[in-house]
Amino acid sequence: MRPSVNVTAPGLVPEAPQAPVAAYVTRRLLVRAARTAGITVAHGSGPGAADADLRILRPDAFYARLGARGLIGFGESYTAGDWEADDLAGTLTALCRKFTALVPGWMQRFRAVYLRRRPRAHRNTVDGARANISHHYDLSNDFFATFLDPGMSYSSALFESPSMSLREAQNAKMDRVLDRAGVGSGTRLLEIGTGWGELAIRAARRGAHVHSVTLSSEQADLARERAVRAGVADLVDIEIRDYREVAGQYDAVVSVEMIEAVGHEYWDAYMDTLRDRLLPGGTAVIQAITMDHHRMMASKDNATWITSYIFPGGCIPSVDALDAAAVRAGLHPGARRFFGADYAETLRQWDEAFRRESDGIGRLGFDDTFRRLWHFYLAYCQAGFAAGYITVGQVEYQRPHHHQENQS
């Protein structure tokens, strides 16, 4: 299948700007950052360049992008081929572990001045959410199949033992979500965010009646086919619908790594939906990527490389923010388990498969620029989890038997 969006160069990455002063300052900052992070940097192809952790092949373009666009420019410069790293994830992890030491205090205090704001077009209104989801998830089912496990789970696995394969760890993740939600024979289950249908299929095999909603037409089509092949189509209803437009009530609600696509302006609406869709006494289980609350508050309105190129409209919440929204909705926060290191391993395996299948991805119509962008994305995310900058967890929320509106 050909990609449904334009993913070929030129145009994916903007031209390097002319910003000599910013480039000069950035070069000095990079020297300091590399020393702090313990990585070696080489310019061009001179002596020692082959052994350097980070090789800057086009210094003028690299520093111009970095000086003008900060971390967004850093990612753009990799996509454009301005620099290389043999161990990209390892280099990014070293930088991420020292992130607070890399940016001088005076720059952190004035970050609101020099960081770009998120475009209003990326807001997750009902129409905006459809466009944002389509941008990423409707690339091509064949594309995602090149690097995901056979069940096509595009979220963190849970490695309950070191000997687990990725497929086994993905199944363990889904089983723990369903266990936490109390899903069994006869359960009426709402799933917010279908993916490619594997969790819905596993729930149906327990005897649950599953209503799963997604905004991705590509995912919905394949998920329906997979439910038929699994022999559970009579128990699984997959619908293209915004979570805010779902009606009815359910014994349980599950949502795996969909909250990151909601946007902070709509976290209250999301929790209100969980409350309204749950029967009294019901449990919602969400698997969510989260970050430190203060860091989230400082960055939630800023454009990032991820929101610019991978997930428009995306926003990683903090657990505090989710719990506060849940309490405002009248839900009771419950048990939770975090396993960020497992996401780092999941991403490592995805990236390894992605690079191994690079030629096949190219034959699907995705050019070298796009493949570099996605290699950076997978390594960038792996670094965030490996360094503890972000984590992932499964969190429970209960609707009490007698709901009382929060009056605070």
Confidence band for 323, pLDDT divided at 50, 70 and 90: very high
- Averaged pLDDT for residues 394-408: 76
Q: What pTM, to 2 d.p., does this model score?
A: 0.90
Give the integer Cα–Cα distance in Å for 253 and 273.
10
Q: What is the CA radius of gyration of the chain?
A: 22
Domain spans in the chain, listed from the N-terminal domain onward: 20-114, 120-398
CA distance 213 to 261: 14
Residue 408 pLDDT > 50: no
Q: What is the CATH number that goes with domain 120-398?
A: 3.40.50.150
- Please state at what angle helix 88-97 crosses helix 340-356, rounded to 10 degrees: 150
Is residue 17's pLDDT more than 70?
no
Q: Kind and range of the H or E element at 329? A: none
The pair phi, psi for residue 366, each rounded to 5°, is -100, 115
- Distance from C-alpha of 212 to C-alpha of 205, rounded to nearest angstrom: 15
Phi, psi of 257 (to 5 degrees): 50, 45
CB 319 within 8 A of CB 290: yes
- In sequence order, the 6+-apart residues with CB closer than 8 A to the CB of 245 are 126
Q: Indicate the residue type of 285.
A: V
Q: How far apart are CA 199 and CA 330, in angstroms?
A: 27
Pick from 260, 328, 316: nearest CA to 292: 316
pLDDT of residue 299: 85
If one counts every other C-beta atom within 10 angstroms of the C-beta of residue 132, the result is 23
- Closest by Cα among 209, 204, 239 to 224: 239
10-19, 70-79, 182-191, 266-275: lowest mean pLDDT where? 10-19
Average pLDDT over residues 193-204: 98
The secondary structure of residue 302, as a DSSP letter, is B
Number of other CB atoms surrounding residue 200 within 10 Å: 29
In the predicted model, what is the mean pLDDT of the chain? 88
Q: What does the pLDDT read at residue 83?
A: 96
Residue 188 has pLDDT above 70, yes or no: yes
Residue 6, pLDDT score: 39
Cβ-based neighbour number of residue 150 at 10 Å: 11
Q: How confident is the model at residue 26 (pLDDT cuts 50, 70, 90)?
A: confident
Q: Which residue has the higher pLDDT, 136 or 291?
A: 291
**Angstrom distance (rounded) from CA 346 to CA 339:** 11
pLDDT at 89 over 80: yes
Q: What pLDDT is recorded for position 404?
A: 52
Higher pLDDT, 301 or 389: 389
One-letter amino acid of 317: P
Token pair of 207 as six digits: 């005897």
For 290, phi then psi, to 5°, come to: -135, 165
pLDDT at 275 over 90: yes
Q: Who wins on pLDDT, 214 or 9? A: 214
Q: Which residues are catalytic?
A: 381
Q: So what's the pLDDT on residue 278?
A: 99
> What percent of the chain has pLDDT above 90?
69
Are 348 and 375 in contact by the 8 Å Cβ rule? The answer is: no
